[in-house]
């Protein structure tokens, strides 16, 4: 079983404030934290073009598949998708081949 890195970029819908996003995000974060296989997550925002990037490390590709099944049935995830510009979403799932960390 190889670890996977999921990368998602997105923008908010027009008229949605960052405060609105952060309120919805807290509930979504609780959903993610409860998922099996989650190793690590970072959410960042580009300061100039308002694009968010969500980087999630998973224990396996199978864990991503389980989360995808749960995602569409969960009200917290639906609330997130209601404020995200669906045309802006780009997702990729990548097998990790090397990593390092200085902590």
The string of DSSP letters for 24-43 reads HHHHHHHHHHTSTTEEEEEE
Q: Which residues contact 90 (CB under 8 A, 6 or more apart)?
A: 8, 9, 10
Model confidence, pTM = 0.90
What would the pLDDT profile of 40-59 be if each residue is shown by its tens digit? 999 999 999 999 999 999 99
What is the average pLDDT across 29-41?
A: 95
Q: What is the pLDDT of residue 8?
A: 98
Asked if the 10-89 domain carries CATH number 3.40.50.300, the reply is no
Q: What pLDDT is attached to residue 16?
A: 97
Residues above pLDDT 90, as percent of the chain:
93
pLDDT tens-digit series, residues 77-86:
999 999 999 9
């Amino acid at each position: 079983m190889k670890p996977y890195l999921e990368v998602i970029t997105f923008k908010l819908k027009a008229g949605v404030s960052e405060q609105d996003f952060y309120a919805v995000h807290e509930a979504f974060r609780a959903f993610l934290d409860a998922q099996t296989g989650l190793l690590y997550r970072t959410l960042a925002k580009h300061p100039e073009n308002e694009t968010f990037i969500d980087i999630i490390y998973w224990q396996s590709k199978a864990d991503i598949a389980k989360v995808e099944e749960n995602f569409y049935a969960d009200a917290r995830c639906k609330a997130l998708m209601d404020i995200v510009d669906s045309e802006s979403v780009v997702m990729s799932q990548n097998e990790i081949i090397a990593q390092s960390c200085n902590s």
